[in-house]
Structure formats: structure tokens, C-alpha cells
Amino acid sequence: MSTSTIALVTGGNRGIGRSIVEALAADGRDVVFTYNSHEAEAKEVVDAVAARGRVAEAIRLDVTRPAEFPGFADTVRRTLRTRWDRESFDILVNNAGFALHTPLGGTDEETLDRLFAVHVKGVFLLTQALATAPEGASPLLADGGRIINSSSGLTRFVTAPYAAYGAVKGAVEVLTRYWAVELGGRGISVNTIAPGPVNTDFDGGYLRDENLQQIFGGLTALGRVAHADDIGPAVAALTREGTGWITGQRIEASGGFRI
């Protein structure tokens, strides 16, 4: 049986998710990660982890389809047994997500449903499928494990027109505190990481605009917007030995944006 620490990261094929996967691998962890599309990118991440001397497995998952979660959990269990001779993993990072503009007076029901499906319903039901089990069965997330939920600086500061995105991320932060209590008896810590502006393909990659980078950098204590590789190591740090007593917390990784 492998003694490796194993993490499961949703949305690990690009952007912040990929940075999280690679940072965990750099810390000596093996990783199972999900992707919804862009299979070629997922393969690149598997290869990047292998180049660090660790093992990664990519599994396709659409987090807006809760009916697939039991089958996904079965696939994870088989993967753990086959690749690591394990029945559980140690770290869950709920990272998958997206953002859309939602101005009041210009937002339809479908947009709200999509945001809720990914950031609240999907996070809740997938965590439930992985971190709990019926009586007599063992959960996939091991006792003493860690859960890191992805939120946003937009729950603290207001940048229109992201009202709905900020609201669903606020719900994630509330879930984090509740789960810290519900899972605390098993020694599982649950925290939220909240990035500020990050130069990725978030919302169409709008922060690749140099003028916006200058504006947002001027509002940031460290003088620039973040890159994905500023966030992955921050997530990995929350899973290291010695941080297990931190739980129920919102940790903002924004470089001091608008403080």
C-alpha cells in the first residue's frame, strides 16, 4: 500500500487549478484531478507532475451533473486501489468554477442557475459524495484529511458586475465554516482560499489587458495582479504538516488588493 499523500483537485487542467496540482506535486503529493474538457491540457498536467517525480491521474467530470457523482466516486475508488493500493485520499480541493457578468437588470435565470450549479450545488454534493458515506461504508476522504474550498476576493470587495459570482462564493465560505464543525470530529480541517485579481483565462482572460493590470496593480499592496502560480503554492501551504489546527477560516491570497 502506498504511503503517499494523495490529493483530489477539481478543475485541475488549467489556470489556478493546474497551479494547485503542480504545487501539490512539488510538495511531494500525488494527485487525482478532474477536467471537464480540454483533454490534451489534462495530459500535459499529468506529464508535468510526472516530471516532478510524482503521480497524477486525470478523470473527466462535469460538476454541474450531480447524477454523475456516484459513478465518479466509484472511479476514484478504483483508481486509488489500482494506482496506489489505497481506499482513501487525503486532500480535497474544490477549485472548478467560472465567472459571468450579472448586472442587476441584465441577468437571466439561466445564468444564475449555472453559477449556482457549479459553485454551490456542485461543491456541496460532490463534497458530500467524497467526504461522507452511508453507515457501514468508508468515506473516500480519509480521517485527518483537508478540504480547501475556492472562494474569491469578491466576497470582501465589490467590483461590478460580479454580484451573483460574489454571492455564490459567499455561500462557499459559509459552507466552509459549517463543514469545519461537521467534519471536525474526524480530524478534517476545512478552509477557504480567496484569490484576488489573477491573470488567467478567468472571465475570458480580461486581466490580460495591460491597462487593467496597471489599474489593479495600483490597488494592490504588492504592486501587481497575481499569476496562477501565486495561488497554487498558497493552497499547497494550507495542506502541509503543522497547519491542521487551522480550520473554518477564509484566507485571502490577493497581494493586499484594496486593503
Class of CATH domain 6-253: alpha beta
Q: Which of 35, 162, 165, 178 is catalytic?
A: 165
pLDDT classification of 43: cutoffs 50, 70, 90? very high
User: Catalytic annotation on 178?
Assistant: no
Residue-range domain boundaries for the chain: 6-253
pLDDT in tens, 77-99: 999 999 999 999 999 999 999 99
pLDDT in tens, 123-149: 999 999 999 999 999 999 999 999 999
Q: What pTM did the predictor assign?
A: 0.97
Q: Are strands 141-150 and 189-195 parallel, antiparallel or unpaired?
A: parallel
